[in-house]
């Protein structure tokens, strides 16, 4: 263990919250592998550390929940490799590690637009979720993306809407809502997709559609899109 890693773990241990750490077990996080540190604290620490990919790898491999969250914040997107990210994604065990990794790091790497197809077909719940969350991350964070750039992902949402696993169906729902809110062009496409999902013999597809429609048909969203 490097001195820098030891210092960071010491910092996290000093600020640990046992009650919060235990509460994370509900999300699949082992209490003895968590410090119960909030994301704002981790983000502040990440800014102090700066980009350090070797240290990020150490933090990821060390095993603590907050170490993995921090790793995604300090890894340099210009330095990480696809093989390294494949390994990290295959080791995901909770929705927050998945989503934070996608939003803080993966959406910034050069190959970000290839990651959905790379992972969404994988049978692992969290690897598939990562593939879907990348759609959300690209929709929100790639300000140069055009409507047409996201459209190849639409059939994938329909295909995997029948996956009954909790963190997959919630990711599908999230992606539909975000795409529907993106533009006046995408809005009717997502409404139509929801209607198709409602006709499927799948509780997951029906839930994703009905929940998405509640938001997409709200006056707030209609006003925002001037519908």
Q: What is the CATH number of the domain that holds 171?
A: 1.25.10.90
Q: Do 224 and 112 share a structural domain? A: yes
Residue 153's CB: how many other CB atoms inside 10 A? 21
Q: Assess contact for 132 and 116: CB atoms under 8 A.
A: yes
Domain stops at, among 45, 76, 107: 76
* Final residue belonging to a domain, choices 44, 76, 108: 76
Q: Please indicate, yes or no, whether residues 145 and 189 belong to a single structural domain of this protein.
A: yes
Question: Which pLDDT band holds residue 8 (cuts at 50, 70, 90)?
Answer: very high
Structural domain boundaries enclosing 123:
94-227
Note the Cα 27 to chain centre separation in Å. 14
Distance of alpha carbon 209 from alpha carbon 215, whole angstroms: 10
Q: What pLDDT was estimated at residue 172?
A: 98
122 with 31, same domain: the answer is no
**pLDDT at residue 30 in the model:** 77
Q: Is residue 88 part of a domain?
A: no
Q: pLDDT tens, 179-214?
A: 999 999 999 999 999 999 999 999 999 999 999 999
User: What's the domain count of the chain?
Assistant: 2
Asked whether residue 155 is domain-assigned, the answer is yes
> Considering the domain boundaries, does residue 24 fall inside one?
yes
Rounded CA separation 157/135 (Å): 10
Q: What angle do CA 45, 50, 52 make, to 5 degrees?
A: 115
Residue with tokens 């046992």: 18
Statement: residue 159 has pLDDT above 70: yes
Identify the band that residue 31 occupies on the pLDDT scale cut at 50, 70 and 90.
low
Q: pLDDT over 90 for what percent of the chain?
A: 87
Are 58 and 122 part of one and the same domain? no
């Amino acid at each position: 263990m490097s001195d820098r890693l030891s210092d960071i773990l010491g910092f996290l241990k000093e600020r640990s919250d046992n009650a919060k750490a235990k509460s994370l077990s509900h999300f699949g996080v082992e209490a003895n592998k968590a410090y119960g540190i909030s994301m704002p604290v981790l983000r502040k620490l990440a800014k102090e550390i700066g980009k350090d990919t070797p240290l990020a790898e150490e933090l990821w491999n060390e095993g603590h929940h907050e170490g993995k969250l921090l790793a995604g914040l300090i890894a340099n997107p210009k330095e990480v490799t696809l093989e390294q990210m494949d390994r990290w994604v295959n080791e995901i065990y909770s929705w927050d590690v998945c989503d934070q990794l996608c939003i803080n790091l993966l959406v910034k790497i050069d190959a970000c637009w290839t990651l959905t197809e790379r992972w969404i077909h994988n049978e692992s719940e969290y690897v598939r979720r990562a593939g879907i969350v990348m759609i959300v991350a690209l929709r929100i964070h790639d300000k140069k993306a055009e409507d047409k750039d996201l459209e190849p992902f639409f059939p994938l949402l329909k295909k995997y809407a029948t996956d009954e696993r909790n963190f997959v169906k919630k990711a599908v729902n999230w992606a539909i809502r975000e795409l529907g809110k993106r533009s006046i062009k995408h809005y009717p496409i997502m409404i139509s997709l929801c209607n198709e999902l409602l006709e499927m013999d799948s509780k997951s597809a029906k839930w994703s559609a009905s929940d998405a429609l509640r938001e997409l048909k709200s006056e707030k969203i209609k006003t925002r899109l001037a519908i």
